[in-house]
Structure 1
């Protein structure tokens, strides 16, 4: 069984922080690292995102204006020196150039020097779909030198570094994640999150699928699927995908199955975190992404959803009903943007869903 650092690769608004709280209860054996790569992705000199491209003040005030991908990995290495196994949860598109651009290795990780950020030099067919009435790149992008690319690698991280991690994957249907993310980018929540526009390129499904496929091609995960294999060969890691709605419906079944795949002993008390120490630890860990994690911070446990939810889930959820709900909450234009983004990301979700753990 692998003893590598666990890396839960996910996309925004997939209930991933609630999932992380489960493993934050394992203080005796795990050290959790919460979304470290956003520092370099959004704010540092190698930034991939254009979100703060024209806002030097915001980058400086973040405290991460000097963060590179190397400094993030160095922090992870320091966290590992406590002797506990690392449990890293992060948005995988933080390692992937947006808009389907071809990745090149970050300068700090061995690529050639760049003027302002990690280089990109080409296009793939992958995108996250919808526009919001104007181009995604409505902020000035970094102007970059070419850096070395690794064939087939969709990330800015050398494959040799990726091999240090035991990758697992967490997804949620875009009909839930996209409206949730949209809400974080409009008033009143935008003044808390600091995300003042919705960028469909941040949906994250395309990047997650491409990283997933790359890791399988490289033999870093698979070919065995979680729950469908006997003893794994030495060093082999199963394909382990969790759907957030399965997790919310059956926390004990899904978490225990996940633990089996990553070599952690499951205990029922992992689903409860209701001491002041638990809450303080969560507040400190999630502080830098204000407004995104309030539900997880205020939670006390992970329990199965109610019978009323199961009844609602069984009823056919029509596109028309969803569109009407989104119009009421976000207006005509908001509903249009959300629908386009949901539809654009649905094929990638359904592909990844086909690998999800069944219990």
Structure 2
């Protein structure tokens, strides 16, 4: 297995926590880190989200009001230094400014020299705070921290420099918006909103646009590809051209080979995309194919976690995002669907959403699904086949 940390890129409600539980069973040989970047995205002094912008008390109570993108990368590096390979699953829009806003590098990830106009906040240098914002006694910025007063990297849709992104081995997990969007909406309305603390549905948090833009950027710079996992050499995927029998994404020859966190150079990382519905249809074959692609040893017992130790560990890991992971916490393993998946018409989906969420909710869900379907269908073309 590559010693680069594996980073599973996904969007909300993609069955990603159940997927993650598969690898949490391998604690003897694998260190799983659950959704670390949401701490900085929602609560910290470099936050990109406006969800808690006007609720400083909630940010402080979260325990993550001091979390910057640097403190999270520092944590990952510390855990990598312990020797076990790292497995991270996270929502990629936590690294991308919302609503298609242009990205610039997070202040804590810039190499800023000490001197005039710089100050240190909890060991992290900030030029005049973040975007010139005042800092209160708790180190929490009073003004909106984004946009940052920092330089962008050409083409990079994230707030993380390419040099740092290149330290990870990326794979992707997606799900049809017809299922993920209503699942997310349910977490933001009564009665579940009282548990999650998310009291409104924000379409910008759907996450598909960010998955696609990050995916395309990684293909362009060679962090993934050119080969597509399980597709073989004769696959015709739009945007991928064949040269001398090998796929090259947009004509990029070869993969980026930067050194990883606690790791070494790695070239030719496959494009590895898992569709959640394919996973639920055939979990054993999909997990085995995924493991083969990313370099993890596959064993059938990965699909079963019906024991007290696994359940205790999962409850501890998922505690900070209460209400979002109930199904995964209560699950006993990853088994095939008990019934064949039936194809629904758009009218049937609309009727189902109206029954569950009323006319207004159904309308919001429909608009969000339609907006994100093109990005999902684009990513679906690269999904593994078993």
TM-score with structure 2 setting the length: 0.83
Give the Cα–Cα distance (whole angstroms) in 2 for the partners of residues 200 and 116 of structure 1.
30
Alignment pair present for 1:265 and 2:297? yes
Q: What is aligned with 2:90?
A: 90
Q: 1:198 and 1:185, CA in 2 relative to 1: closer, same or farther beyond 3 A?
A: same
Q: Structure 1 residues 174 and 229 mapped into 2: Cα distance closer, same or farther (>3 Å)?
A: same
Q: CA deviation at 1:2?
A: 3.4
Aligned to 1:304, the other structure's residue is in SS state coil
Q: Which aligned pairs between 1:148-187 and structure 2 lie closer than 5 A?
A: 148-187=151-190
2:115 maps to none
Distance in 1, matches of 2:374 and 2:147, equals 32
| Residues 243, 115 of structure 1: alpha-carbon distance in 2 compared, 3 angstrom cutoff | farther
Aligned to 2:102, the other structure's residue is in SS state strand
Query: Could you list the runs of 5+ residues in structure 1 that have no partner in the other structure?
Result: 120-139
In the alignment, is residue 103 of structure 1 matched against residue 103 of structure 2?
A: yes
The aligned runs of 1:342-357 (5 Å cut-off) are 342-357=369-384
Partner of residue 58, structure 1: 58
- Report the equivalent of 2:123: none
User: Which residue is 1:192 aligned to?
Assistant: 195
The aligned counterpart of 2:350 is 323
Q: Give SS of 2:349's match.
A: helix
Cα 1:251/1:143, change in 2 over 3 Å = closer
Structure 2: gaps spanning 5 or more residues = 113-125, 133-142, 234-245, 247-253, 256-265
Answer whether contact 1:43 1:64 (CA < 8 A) is retained: yes
Task: Give 4+ residue runs of structure 1 displaced > 3 Å after superposition.
Answer: 111-119, 140-145, 228-234
Superposition pairs of residues 299-314 of structure 1, within 5 angstroms: 299-306=331-338, 308=339, 310=340, 313-314=341-342
Alignment CA distance shift 1:111-1:152 (3 Å): farther
Q: Offset at 1:228?
A: 3.3
Structure with greater proportional helix content: 1
Cα distance in 1 between the residues matched to 2:267 and 2:230: 17
1:277 equivalent to 2:309? Answer yes
CA gap 1:114/1:103 in 2 versus in 1, 3 angstroms: farther
Task: Tell me the SS of whatever aligns to 1:102.
Answer: coil
Q: Distance in 1 between matches of 2:111 and 2:102?
A: 14
* Contact 1:80/1:86, CA 8 A, preserved across alignment: yes
Per the alignment, residue 20 of structure 2 pairs with 20
Say whether the 8 Å CA contact 2:92–2:211 is kept in structure 1: yes
2:150 aligned partner? 147
Bigger Rg, structure 1 or 2: 2
Summarize deviations over 1:24-82 as a string: whole Å, max 9, x none: 11112110000000000000000000000000000000000000000000111111122
Aligned residues: 334
Q: How big is the shift at 1:292?
A: 0.2
Among 361, 367, 374, the residue aligned to 1:334: 361
Q: Cα deviation per residue 1:101-120 (whole Å; 9 max; x = unaligned)?
A: 0000000000774677579x
Please, which of 276, 295, 318 is the counterpart of residue 286 of structure 1?
318
Within 1, Cα distance between the matches of 2:381 and 2:268? Answer: 21
Cα distance in 1 for residues equivalent to 2:348 and 2:194: 29
Partner-residue secondary structure (3-state), 1:7: strand
2:48, 2:98 within 8 Å by CA — same for their partners in 1? yes
Structure 1 residues 144 and 215 mapped into 2: Cα distance closer, same or farther (>3 Å)? Answer: closer
Q: Report the alpha carbon displacement of residue 318 of structure 1 after superposing the two structures with TM.
A: 1.1
Relative to structure 1, the CA distance from residue 288 to residue 107 in structure 2 (aligned partners, 3 Å threshold; closer, same or farther) is same
The residue number in structure 1 matching 2:29 is: 29
**Deviation for aligned residue 1:236:** 1.4
Listed as ranges, the matches of 1:108-127 within 5 Å are: 108-110=108-110, 113=126
Instruction: Give the direction of change, closer, same or farther, for the CA distance of 1:93–1:118 in structure 2 (3 Å limit).
Output: farther
1:205 aligns with 2:232: no
Partners of 1:161 and 1:118 in 2: CA distance: 22
